[in-house]
Amino acid sequence: MLVVFGVLLVALGLMAVRALPASTGDRLLRVELDGVLLEEIPFNEADVEKFPIEFPSGTATVEIVGGRVRVLPMPKETCPLGICSSIGWVEQAGDAIVCLPNRLVLTVVGGEVNEVWDSVDGVTR
């Protein structure tokens, strides 16, 4: 019982840390298409921006508002299941939006609070 209680306590603690608001420092949105880094876009709480990303099968629109990022819904021809747009807003370092049919990966990196955690995560290719 003690082990189960300890595991539950650690899990609740991790969920509480995850629920904390994102750092207010400048962060980067890393945009990768087909394994190639297209650009790194700095953003913060004051930014309001929309930009397109072109695929062979169509276009995705990425929106940045209030320090958060999301992919707007795409036609079924471009993204059949629409999972990337159903993810919703991401804002904390390490958060990612992935569109597998189009091989698009959007990752939030940086920020004052989460710089240490960015270096802990690894990428598998």
Q: How many domains does the structure of the chain reveal? A: 1
pLDDT digits (tens, 9 = 90+) for 103-117: 999 999 886 544 444
79-106 in b/e form (b: 16+ CB < 10 A) is beebebbebeebbbbebebebeebebbb
For position 116, what pLDDT does the model report? 46
Q: Does 10 fall in a domain?
A: no
The answer to whether position 81 is within a domain reads yes
Assigned domain for 63 exists: yes
- Residue 15 domain-assigned? no
Residues 6+ away with beta carbon under 8 Å from 90: 68, 69, 70, 96, 97, 106, 108
Quick one: pLDDT at residue 3? 92
Q: Is the confidence at residue 23, as pLDDT, over 50?
A: yes
- The domain in which residue 95 lies consists of 24-120
Say if residues 80 and 101 touch (Cβ distance below 8 Å): yes
With respect to residue 62, please indicate whether it lies within any of the assigned structural domains.
Answer: yes
Question: 112: domain CATH number?
Answer: 2.60.320.10
With respect to residue 19, please indicate whether it lies within any of the assigned structural domains: no
User: Mind listing the pLDDT tens digit for each residue in 55-84?
Assistant: 888 899 999 998 899 999 999 988 889 888
In a domain, 9, yes or no: no
Residue 13 within any structural domain of the chain: no
